Structure 1
Amino acid sequence: MVVRGDSGDIVASAKVGVEWTAAFADLDRVRFPLLWALDPSGDAVFNWRQMPMLLSELDRLPAACGGDWVAQARELCQVVERGIHLYLWFVGD
């Protein structure tokens, strides 16, 4: 996970990535539309307008999908919210 500006420069980054488990496949796409859309093989990009919804999804994420990455994702969401022209990237392999 990284925060990038419009020019692609990295402003902040997480020390760990999403811990992909089989539990992600069980996420309800209605209750977790942003997290449900994550793909371990592809990138996903979120803008400042999506931060409140993403934070809400992180707050109710099942424990089976949790880990250190959740706290770091929250911190990166705050970086995006405080900045201008910043985006949170979930970078796949």
Structure 2
Amino acid sequence: MINMAVRGDSGNVVARAEASVEWTAAFADLESAEFPMLWALTPYGDAVFNQRQVPLLLSELDRLPVDLGGDWVGEARELCRVVERGLHLYLWFIGD
């Protein structure tokens, strides 16, 4: 299970997703050249995206295979918007 949150520079949580990413082996099978942002996700580690990386992540979410989708995709989009509108904010994918 991978949780999602937006944090500021000091680590304070600004926004949090209700849905979590259900990790499957299909994430590991994503082509790293086609999905470099999502390819960074791991079930046990953290991945952090800054304001400049968020548009790339949004583009990848648009092309995500249907079997990897779910409620988390819409919530990830919302959290991306929070990062884009703020200053010194980061989208965290937090593995167990």
Offset at 1:45? Answer: 0.5
More strand by percentage: 2
The ranges of structure 1 where at least 4 consecutive aligned residues each deviate by more than 4 angstroms after the TM superposition are none
TM-score (structure 1 length as normaliser): 0.97
TM-score (structure 2 length as normaliser): 0.94
Runs of 5+ consecutive residues of structure 1 not aligned to the other structure: none
User: Structure 1 CA distance, aligned partners of 2:44 and 2:73?
Assistant: 19
Q: How many residues align?
A: 93
Q: Percent identity?
A: 73
- SS of 1:91's partner is strand
**Alpha carbon RMSD of aligned pairs, Å?**
0.6
More helix by percentage: 1
Runs of 5+ consecutive residues of structure 2 not aligned to the other structure: none
Offset at 1:17? Answer: 1.0
Aligned residues of 1:19 and 1:66 also touching (Cα < 8 A): no
Match of 2:21 in 1: 18
User: Structure 1 CA distance, aligned partners of 2:39 and 2:12?
Assistant: 26
Match of 1:66 in 2: 69
